[in-house]
């Protein structure tokens, strides 16, 4: 879920429960400096995540692989669109592993831009990055947030050569809204297929995770159906957050969902059997990811 802070003209209309915290804490400049030194992209910056100050101040960032330009143009996303013509920076896995080592992270979230210009969707570079992190920082847990990899089974098999602890792929929205909100090459059923394939073919320890945005105009029936579809696909962890419009050219916000409604949906999702749910107006895919992962471990008796 790569949504952003609302543009300046819309800030006056934001409800009181949506407030971005200012940066504080010694870790913030250290994180920023290391990212700049190693020339690493983050979804925090590229998607203008409202939680950037909080996470960077705590010494955490979600690293974006395969560059910072996406080959898709979803109506909700702030990441720039470009066709990179198959160009891949082979030094990226080593630089990411070095950043993780120098941070001393117990848990790291890696995400990717969609790369429809690559036959494997970038799976080879993703797997190599996880492998290098395992070598440089053996105790670090790795969460990998992937695109749909073209909906093909072979790229997923490539990932299992060096599997993450958590494999995440975002459903983003309900079936009824998917065609309007997402790029035409994406799809509700394709995303469910990716998640189901990860559960079916991935290692037994794998935790499968997804995310859904609220406030796009979804109905209660559609949202409940999405939760049920995710559970049938074998998804263990779920995050729910408020969609915030990146700019005037993006899908407008249908409504701002109050915190108490997020709590109600969290309870409904947990009742369906998810091992962990994080829900709230500013929650994003990787928000408090380590904490959510530990909930899954506890649920499994690990």
- Give one DSSP letter per residue of the chain, joined into a string: ----PPPGGGGGGS-TT--PPPP-STHHHHHHHHHHHTT-EEHHHHTT-TTHHHHHHTT--EEEES-S-BS---TT--S-B---TT---TTHHHHHHHHHHHHT-SEEEEEE---TTSTTTTHHHHHHHHHHHHHH-TT-EEEEE---GGG-HHHHHHHTTS--SEEE---BS-HHHHHHHS-TT--HHHHHHHHHHHHHHS-TT-EEEEEEEESSS--HHHHHHHHHHHHHTT--EEEEEE----STTSPPP--PPPHHHHHHHHHHHHHTT-SEEEESTT--TTTTHHHHHHHHHHHTT-
The pLDDT assigned to 10 comes to: 45
Residue 195 token pair: 């998640």
Average pLDDT of every residue of the chain: 87
User: Is the pLDDT score of 110 beyond 90?
Assistant: yes
Tell me, letter by letter, the H, E, C secondary structure of 10-41.
HHHHCCCCCCCCCCCCCHHHHHHHHHHHCCCE
Percent of all residues in the chain with a pLDDT value above 90, rounded to a whole number: 63
Banded model confidence at residue 6, pLDDT cuts 50, 70, 90: very low
| Tens-digit pLDDT profile for residues 218-256 | 999 999 999 999 999 999 999 999 999 888 889 999 999
The pLDDT assigned to 122 comes to: 97
Residue 278 forms beta bridges with which residues?
A: 239
Banded model confidence at residue 60, pLDDT cuts 50, 70, 90: low
Q: What is the mean pLDDT of residues 38-48?
A: 58
The pairing of strands 107-112 and 141-145 is: parallel
Q: What is the mean pLDDT of residues 67-86?
A: 89
Q: Between 299 and 236, whose confidence is greater?
A: 236
Task: Walk me through the domains of the chain, giving residue ranges and CATH numbers.
Answer: 8-299 (3.20.20.70)
| Tens-digit pLDDT profile for residues 191-212 | 999 999 999 999 999 999 999 9
Banded model confidence at residue 261, pLDDT cuts 50, 70, 90: very high
Residue 211 forms beta bridges with which residues?
A: 239
d(CA 259, CA 249): 27
Q: What is the mean pLDDT of residues 42-57?
A: 55
User: Is the pLDDT score of 77 beyond 90?
Assistant: no
- Which of 10-19, 48-57, 222-231, 285-294 has the highest average model confidence (pLDDT)? 222-231
The pLDDT assigned to 11 comes to: 40
CA-closest candidate to residue 142, choices 108, 167, 112, 168: 108
User: Is the pLDDT score of 78 beyond 70?
Assistant: yes
Sequence-distant (6+) residues with CB within 8 A of 74 are 172, 181, 182, 183, 186
| Tens-digit pLDDT profile for residues 152-185 | 999 999 999 999 999 999 999 999 999 999 999 9
The pLDDT assigned to 49 comes to: 58
Percent of all residues in the chain with a pLDDT value above 70, rounded to a whole number: 83
Q: CA dihedral in degrees (217, 64, 248, 4; nearest 10)?
A: 60
The pLDDT assigned to 271 comes to: 98
| Tens-digit pLDDT profile for residues 127-159 | 999 999 999 999 999 999 999 999 999 999 999
Confirm if 92 and 126 have CB atoms less than 8 A apart.
no
């Amino acid at each position: 879920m790569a949504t952003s802070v609302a543009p300046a003209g819309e800030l006056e209309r934001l409800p009181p429960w949506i407030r971005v915290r200012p940066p504080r804490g010694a870790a913030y400049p250290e994180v920023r400096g290391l990212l700049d030194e190693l020339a690493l992209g983050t979804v925090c910056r590229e998607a203008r995540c409202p939680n950037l100050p909080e996470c960077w101040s705590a010494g955490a960032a979600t690293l974006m692989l395969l560059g910072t330009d996406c080959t898709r143009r979803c109506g909700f996303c702030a990441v720039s669109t470009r066709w990179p013509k198959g160009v891949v920076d082979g030094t990226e896995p080593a630089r990411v592993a070095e950043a993780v080592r120098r941070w001393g992270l117990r848990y790291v979230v890696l995400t990717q831009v969609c790369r429809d210009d690559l036959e494997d969707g970038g799976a080879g570079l993703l797997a190599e990055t996880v492998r290098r992190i395992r070598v440089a920082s053996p105790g670090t847990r790795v969460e990998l947030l992937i695109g749909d990899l073209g909906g093909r089974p072979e790229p997923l098999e490539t990932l299992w050569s060096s599997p993450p602890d958590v494999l995440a792929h975002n459903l983003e929205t309900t079936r009824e809204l998917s065609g309007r909100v997402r790029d035409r090459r994406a799809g509700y059923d394709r995303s469910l297929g990716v998640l189901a394939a990860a559960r079916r073919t991935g290692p037994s320890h794998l935790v499968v995770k997804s995310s859904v945005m609220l406030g796009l105009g979804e109905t209660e029936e559609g949202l409940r159906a999405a939760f049920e579809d995710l559970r049938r696909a074998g998804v263990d962890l779920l995050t729910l957050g408020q969609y915030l419009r990146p700019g005037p050219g993006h899908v407008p916000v249908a409504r701002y969902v109050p915190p108490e409604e997020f709590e109600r949906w969290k309870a409904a999702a947990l009742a369906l059997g998810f091992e962990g749910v994080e829900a709230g107006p500013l929650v994003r895919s990787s928000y408090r990811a380590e904490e959510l992962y530990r909930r899954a471990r506890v649920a499994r008796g690990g």
